[in-house]
Amino acid sequence: ADFVRSFYRAHTEFVSPVIGPTALDFDTEEPKEEFSSEMCMYGDYLREEMASAWDMMTATGKIEDTDEKLQKYIHDGVKDLILHEVGHTLGLRHNFKASSIYSIEQLSDPSFTTKYGISGSVMDYQPINVFDGVTFFQTQPGVYDIWAIEYAYKEPNRSGHSEEIFLEEIASRNTDPLLRYGTDEDTFGLSTRGMDPHSNAWDLSDDPMDYYQKRFEMSEELLEIIPEYFEKDGEQYSKLRRVFGRSLRQYYSASRNIAKYIGGIYHSRHHVGDPGGDNPFKIVPAKKQREALEFIIINILAEDAFKFDPDLLNKLAPE
Ligand SMILES: [Zn+2]
């Protein structure tokens, strides 16, 4: 109930700084306690992402802004969060690679997302899927979850094998790319410390650069229509300020996550002799590293990367 209340408050009333502390946190220190396996911050961050994506999708006409749709949206968001937390109680750790298994094309296809969801696991910190207008959240266990739960809980006796062979058979699927796994120690929360550009919080799809590019385009579209959509008689200017701040979230997220390609190493936990296994370290190809550098220069560091309408900036007063 707190989560829903907070969402409404954050969405309509709460007066926050331009960017919340979560988005500004370029933490390069040792991972803090909240990123350990014992603490989970998914709910706090998900709430912000939900509000941000809802503003963007409704203001730009990607989805209809009705009470019914908002209610379903919040219901599915809560379901996503509950699945994640129940996953922890069943013993699952974060899997920050799970959201990198599907392509944007797959995530844009409602028949695909209805069947498979938006990610390989409920244990990632995943953003809203803004691509198909139907499946915004991970509201069902993903392929990784089913596999991990099978290993931990499935009864071996029925197979007629010893438990060891039974478990080995399940574990032998670990080289399947759909089951890729990276947890807190691989990701270091929201920092840029992790070396594997697939192991990220708050990215989505097998092509994060393309993903962020598309989110930037949506943010730009939102920024353009802020005055038209949100500047209504009797409304507070702080609403414009909030929407503006949230539209920048993707830039913070991208600058952290895309930087990992530069000097990056894909890391797997394959064992020696695993069928289909490979070296556990694979250097990110130089071409991809250069693309990432170019991406950051153009979208984040360029002189004109954050050029805003001065008139809009003068409307961004806090409450
Ligand atoms: Zn968690």
**DSSP line for 172-202:** GGGG-GGG----HHHH-TTSS--S-TTS-SS
Q: What are the residue ranges spanned by the domains of the chain?
A: 2-94+185-303
Nearest-angstrom CA–CA distance, 47 and 54 = 11
Better-predicted residue by pLDDT, 98 or 276: 98
CA of 206 to the centre of ligand 1 (A): 21
Average the pLDDT over 278-287 and give the result. 96
pLDDT of residue 159: 59
CA of 64 to the centre of ligand 1 (A): 31
Helix (H, G, I), strand (E, B) or coil at 151: helix
CA of 258 to the centre of ligand 1 (A): 22
Average the pLDDT over 55-67 and give the result. 92
Indicate if ipTM > 0.90.
Answer: yes
CB atoms within 10 A of CB 262: 17
Question: Who contacts 291 (Cβ-Cβ below 8 Å, separation ≥6)?
Answer: 209, 261
CA of 88 to the centre of ligand 1 (A): 7
CA of 36 to the centre of ligand 1 (A): 9
CA of 195 to the centre of ligand 1 (A): 21
Average the pLDDT over 277-284 and give the result. 94
**Residue 98 confidence (pLDDT) above 60:** yes
CA of 39 to the centre of ligand 1 (A): 7
Best CA proximity match to 174, nearest among 86, 78, 277, 82: 277
pLDDT of residue 54: 94
Q: Where are the alpha helices (DSSP H) in the chain?
A: 2-8, 21-24, 42-59, 67-89, 104-107, 110-116, 143-153, 163-171, 184-187, 208-230, 237-247, 249-258, 286-296, 310-313
CA of 4 to the centre of ligand 1 (A): 18
The one-letter code for the residue type at 91 is G
CA of 201 to the centre of ligand 1 (A): 11
CA of 43 to the centre of ligand 1 (A): 8
Q: What is the pLDDT of residues 164-218, one digit of tens each?
A: 888 999 999 999 999 999 999 999 888 888 999 999 999 999 999 999 999 999 9
pLDDT of residue 293: 98
Block residue for tokens 């490979």: 278
CB of 293 within 8 A of CB of 284?
no
CA of 34 to the centre of ligand 1 (A): 9
Best CA proximity match to 132, nearest among 157, 161, 158, 102: 102
CA of 122 to the centre of ligand 1 (A): 9
Beta bridge partners of 282: 266
Beta bridge partners of 266: 282
Residue count of the chain, please give it: 319
CA of 138 to the centre of ligand 1 (A): 14
* Helices 249-258 + 208-230 axis angle, to 10: 170
Output b/e per residue, 41-53; b: 16+ Cβ within 10 A: ebbebbbbbbbbb
Q: What is the pLDDT of residues 121-155, one digit of tens each?
A: 999 999 999 999 999 999 999 999 999 999 999 98
CA of 223 to the centre of ligand 1 (A): 32
CA of 95 to the centre of ligand 1 (A): 9
CA of 124 to the centre of ligand 1 (A): 7
pLDDT of residue 8: 56
Best CA proximity match to 260, nearest among 316, 307, 205, 208: 208
pLDDT of residue 191: 84
- What separation in angstroms does the CA of 156 have from each of 107, 167, 274? 35, 8, 22
CA of 188 to the centre of ligand 1 (A): 13
CB of 54 within 8 A of CB of 284?
no
Beta bridge partners of 267: 281
**Residue 27 confidence (pLDDT) above 70:** no
CA of 200 to the centre of ligand 1 (A): 13
CA of 47 to the centre of ligand 1 (A): 14
Residue 267 — φ and ψ, nearest 5°? -120, 130
